[in-house]
Structure 1
Amino acid sequence: MVKIDDSVWGKEDVTSSKGMKDENFPVGSFLIAPIHRPIVHHYYHFARVADDMVDNVSLTSEEKKARLVALREVLLGLREAPNRADAQSAAKLRQSLMARDLPLSLASDLITAFIMDAEKNRYQSWDELLHYCRYSANPVGRFLLALHHESEETLEASDALCTSLQIINHLQDVQSDLNKLDRCYVPLEWLNEEKVTLKDLTLARSKPGVRRVFDRMLAKVDGLNTKAKRLPSLIRDRRMRLEAAVIVNLCVQLTNHLHYNDPIEKRVALTRKDGVYALLKSIKYFSVSA
């Protein structure tokens, strides 16, 4: 094990004050059984720390990667964690995962995606974007399913849901990601085919070519959502089944909002009404057998 080396962490913990209530979708909500909530919270905080590291504009690419590698090493038990919140998030999650006999890869895969973000800021193709989602989003669903001892039969639908959630989040934040982080997840090949540029993503509203690219992405998301709709019926745990159903319905609603609204003109987001509707539409899954 590597001994404590505070220098790799830098002088300041860059973790933001953003919390679970600031996310688009439920994170460790009341729908999750109380016995599972602490580890879900540990998982979220670990991911939040890593995300804040890679999105911090005051750090260089090499500094970001060094911190992310150190965070993963703490998670894997290869490095001691200093007594600071960012490093301790990995130590706490390691303890929680090991106590439940869950694979550490369910969290370490996230670091692979964050290192991608530190190394690159453009995606050439749809397949390249899906590869990114394989590490940035899909492990989250797999973690929750493993936590509830669900079968491998759930994984395909879960991956589809998580990938869909990731891509619609990219569309929501397409302009802010480009302006603040110089990062864009829209396939460059598709922009080139429509003869539009990254600069067009910073305008006041979408040009027709940009809108066609967004519609192409959303058509792919619609296909992912169709696969994701199978997920609740495959889950045995009642509370997790309801949580999945709510998230699937919220995902479909947000996708529909993006179909009919311009994410360049304004950030397209869910409303409280959307949340109530998703819960009411999903409640049937709490009582049925999987």
Structure 2
Amino acid sequence: MISSQSSKSHLYNSSIWGEEDVSSGKAAKDENFPVGSLLISRELRPHVQAYYDFARVIDDIADSEMLSAEEKINRLNGMEAVLCKDVPAPDRSDVWTARRLHNSFIETGVSFDTATDLLIAFRQDAVKTRYKSLEELIQYCRYSANPVGHFLLNLHKEGPDTIPASDALCTSLQILNHLQDCKTDLIKLGRCYIPLDLMQKHNVVVEDLLADTTSFSLRTIFNSLLDYIDALNKEAEDLPRLTRNRRLRLEAAVIVYLAKFLAQRLRNEDPLAGRVKLSKKDVLYSTLKSFRHFM
């Protein structure tokens, strides 16, 4: 606990915290995949919710259209200080999510890395808008997506043998989201997660993502990324089998099915014409198919 006056004054500085919460307007209903769903046990659900709330706040900071890159990084640094050291900070709902997650980690013994790795990715989002290659994008997913799986596995006391399949699933979900939002990300945030080397290979430029429909060349790129996602989803099929906790095993199975459904929808539908989404039928079918993993 840092309680010196200099630290307190530094954290209350408006260049770090600003004067108000920063929200993207996103909510749980906007997510493709269940986060802290009823499949999670009642006693662990508050800890999952604490993690989700913190992740949503720092994501909103990184995606804010009102803050400069420097302001975003300052705020993210402030959130990390509260998370890791429980230092004094404004009594505000966005900052409180860091203090609540700090308490959750102390209570459960979950590694702080599962949250600080997210902060690495979101600091990167504040300054980086292009990715040269798929390898560079995968490295980003290591920090932006994979820690979520690590958190859930760590919280449920699962073994290290579950990590590779979890990483495959989380990376798949992240790239699927990039494909869904490729046009919106460019318009609102100036970001493009589609690898530039693939674009160059197929004579596509970033501005082609602003079109009303996907060109043949751009569709070739999307399908190439979806081929990689299919391979990730195949690897992720091991996750339910390796997961000991029955509830988490069922949740993992549902999400693997949903990832496959969304990948297929992105092959058949045009993300430039409108956001490609899962249907209620996809969710129901995935849930029913997954119950065999509950035994």
State if a TM-score over 0.5 links the two structures.
yes
- Name the residue aligned to 2:289: 281
- Name the residue aligned to 1:246: 254
- Name the residue aligned to 1:202: 210
Whether 1:233 aligns to 2:233 is: no
CA distance in 2, matches of 1:260, 1:22: 21
**AA of the residue aligned to 2:71:** E
2:56 pairs with 48, 57, 62, which one? 48
**AA of the residue aligned to 1:261:** E
Structure 1 residues without counterparts, runs of 5 or longer? none
TM-score, with structure 2 as normaliser: 0.95
Structure 2 residues without counterparts, runs of 5 or longer? none
- Name the residue aligned to 1:5: 12
TM-score, with structure 1 as normaliser: 0.97
Whether 1:121 aligns to 2:129 is: yes
Q: 8 Å contact 1:6–1:82 — kept in the other structure?
A: no
- Name the residue aligned to 1:81: 89
CA distance in 2, matches of 1:200, 1:194: 12
CA distance in 1, matches of 2:25, 2:259: 25
- Name the residue aligned to 1:32: 40
Which digits, 9 at most, give the CA deviation of each residue in 1:177-229, with x for residues without a partner?
00111001000110011011011110011111111110111111011001001
CA distance in 1, matches of 2:245, 2:89: 35
2:186 pairs with 173, 178, 183, which one? 178
1:212 pairs with 220, 240, 243, which one? 220
SS at 1:27 equivalent: coil
> Cα gap change, 1:17/1:201 in structure 2, threshold over 3 Å: closer, same or farther?
closer
Q: 8 Å contact 1:15–1:86 — kept in the other structure?
A: no
- Name the residue aligned to 2:103: 95
CA distance in 1, matches of 2:52, 2:284: 24
Q: 8 Å contact 2:24–2:63 — kept in the other structure?
A: no
- Deviation for aligned residue 1:86: 1.1
Which digits, 9 at most, give the CA deviation of each residue in 1:109-141, with x for residues without a partner?
100000000011110100000000000000000
CA distance in 1, matches of 2:197, 2:249: 38
CA distance in 2, matches of 1:34, 1:21: 20
Which digits, 9 at most, give the CA deviation of each residue in 1:59-84, with x for residues without a partner?
00000010011111111116322200
- Deviation for aligned residue 1:15: 2.6
- Name the residue aligned to 1:188: 196
CA distance in 2, matches of 1:19, 1:207: 32
SS at 1:88 equivalent: helix
- Name the residue aligned to 1:21: 29
- Deviation for aligned residue 1:17: 4.4
Q: 8 Å contact 1:75–1:93 — kept in the other structure?
A: yes
Q: 8 Å contact 2:86–2:99 — kept in the other structure?
A: no
Q: 8 Å contact 2:24–2:64 — kept in the other structure?
A: no
Whether 1:69 aligns to 2:70 is: no
- Name the residue aligned to 2:148: 140
CA distance in 1, matches of 2:128, 2:26: 24
2:175 pairs with 154, 167, 173, which one? 167
- Identity of paired residues, percent? 49
- Name the residue aligned to 2:120: 112
The runs of at least 4 consecutive aligned structure 1 residues that moved more than 3 Å come to none
CA distance in 2, matches of 1:249, 1:44: 22
Structure 1 range deviating more: 53-62 or 74-83: 74-83
- Deviation for aligned residue 1:159: 0.2
**AA of the residue aligned to 2:78:** A
- Deviation for aligned residue 1:6: 4.3
